[in-house]
Amino acid sequence: IIDYLLNLIQANKDFTAVGIFQRLFSFIGCLCSIYHSSVAQIQNTVGVLQAQPLEYTSGYDLLYPNNQADIFLIDQCGRLVHRWQDDPSWRPGNVAYLLENGQLVRAKRYFAAINDPIWFSGGGEMVELVDWSGNVLWQFYQNDSLKRLHHDIQPLPNGHVLLVSWELKTGEEALLQGRDPASLLENRLFPDYILEVSPDSGDSVLWEWHAWDHLIQDFDETKPNYGVIAEHPELIDLNFDTREGIPDWLHINSIDYHPQLDQIMLSVLGFDEIWIIDHSTTSEEAAGHVGGRSGQGGDLLYRWGNPMAYQQGDVSDQMLFGQHDAHWVDDLAGTDPFYGQIAVFDNNYRPEFSAGHLIDASFDTLTQSYLMDQGRWLPISYTLTITHPHPELFKSESVSSIQVLSNGHFLMCAGKIGYTIELDSEGSIVWEYVLPFRSGFPVAQGTQLRLNDNFIFRHKRYSLDYPAFQDKVLEPGDYLEIDPDLTICDLITSVEEEETAGGGIMVTPNPVHQAMQIQSRDVLGLISITGLGGNELYRKSVQSSTVAIDVADWNPGLYLIRSGRSLRKVMVIH
């Protein structure tokens, strides 16, 4: 500060003392703003830990924390903009989706499940359609001794909903299909099946697909489904088991739908695989091996992640490890190279950390089939792997999510620690958030949370122009945490207001240490950069939309950048 004051006096000998100190206090204020922002990012333990206002992707984030009943919509400051309340005796079961018409589909379960006849992790019970105000428009219930909803749901463009469910198979039924009795620890199995329902059809099931209809095994040659597993990757090996014989054999934990292909994607944790099946079939065709666009009925059209599951590889070929949230990337422009690829959260990518992947599953529309090579479906490896800049800080052995945002950024949530990051295309964190809950209740800023305290299944961001938000009042309210730190949001707001006044000029980084880049949507034209005292350090006519400027030799302080009618402030620090 003293150096800055001396430089100011030397450069502006005619300034009055009042003028000099006005500029000095402005400089100190800028330093204080940066200091408080930095301290907040270091000291904050919950809520927004970091936000780069001109770099993160604006939108509203949908949160359905575990161990409580409500669903929250927050802005990038972490402030509540809407809330769907529910009876506190309910719990997530486990997801919610905001529809374009402003309605919400949520899956939930009663809080006490210990005495239920079917219970494994991820269990659900009921699916509801509610309006913006939380009024229930429709319900579908399934939880008895034979079947139970679980994990995920998928709304369809026609208003129908795909559901994932367990169905009971007795030990006798399993043995009749060739199950190895050594892998029947409880003398029963709960394979998964998919059902399609609609608010317009009450409790009627409109379509269904059962994994049990597509089995193969090489254990008992007396059974009709006995065969060579490596020759039939379209079928499911009844005796492939990574879950040590527990009845929840497949453990499907996510479902997605591709409207153009009319296909369904499943994340099958028990096999460390992604599966794709044909939805263009009738239920009867889905139970067999012919029919639908593919001509293969309900057999697997594609599987990827662990070729050991169909005896076409060894441990060195395994690519997925306890994955979640497998889905087609559809938030990007159709011309983007990542559009239509598969995004998946790989929970145990390495023992020490989790990662996200993009996978390019090549589909031939002429043959209605996915490409294979030497008995395995392509690709050989990932298109891209996305990790935290410090990978050891980002680990969740279960749940979790990944989202490719419209600008190519990645939003990843490590669900067991309630920790979400947005990464730009260079892999830098531009937004960072810790869910401020412990066992379903808000906690104060500064609280140190532990594993599973703030458990959440997914973290989903909707863009500001998402149709559901039209004509809705989305005024920022309270923070989810108690005693929130306001400095980060104050900084976000001030920078965003400055960006509006700046007419589209963007300066990165800001503060700047060595070099900065000035960008505009149009040709920059004449650029003038002055210090607070009015001394001009840079003046140049730029006939492009971007320019890089070296500031390594500039004195620390606040500078003003002018381009046409636009004005921007930048802080130089060394």
> How many whole angstroms separate alpha carbon 339 and alpha carbon 412?
18
> How many whole angstroms separate alpha carbon 478 and alpha carbon 553?
44
For residue 200, the SS3 value is helix
Which segment of 114-118, 317-321, 386-390, 454-458 scores lowest on mean pLDDT? 114-118
* Structure tokens given for 405: 């945002």
Edge-first strand order for the sheet with 353-359 is 324-328, 342-350, 353-359, 384-386
Overall residue count recorded for the chain in this entry: 574
Which segment of 27-31, 176-180, 553-557 scores lowest on mean pLDDT? 27-31
> How many whole angstroms separate alpha carbon 321 and alpha carbon 304?
11
Q: Is 13's pLDDT higher than 50? A: no
- Single-letter residue type at 331: D
Q: What is the mean pLDDT of the chain?
A: 91
Asked if residues 205 and 197 have their Cβ atoms less than 8 Å apart, the reply is: yes
pTM across the whole model: 0.83
* Structure tokens given for 52: 């780069």
Predicted pLDDT of residue 497: 55
Q: Which domains does the chain have, with CATH numbers?
A: 2-44+489-572 (2.60.40.3080)
pLDDT tens-place string over residues 414-471: 999 999 999 999 999 999 999 999 999 999 999 999 999 999 999 999 999 999 999 9
399: closest CA among 382, 383, 418? 418
Task: Give 453's DSSP letter.
Answer: T
Residue 140 CB coordination number (10 Å):
22
CA distance to 219, 233, 303, 328, per residue, from 276 (Å):
26, 12, 6, 11
* Structure tokens given for 224: 């009709």
pLDDT tens-place string over residues 164-190: 999 999 999 999 999 999 999 999 999
**What b/e readout covers 535-560, taking b as 16+ CB neighbours within 10 angstroms?**
eeebeeebeeeebebebeebebbbbe
CA angle 159, 165, 168 (to 5 degrees): 150
Alpha-carbon torsion 321, 456, 99, 104, what sign?
positive
Whether omega for the bond prior to residue 44 falls within 30 degrees of 0, making it cis, is no
pLDDT tens-place string over residues 292-313: 999 999 999 999 999 999 999 9
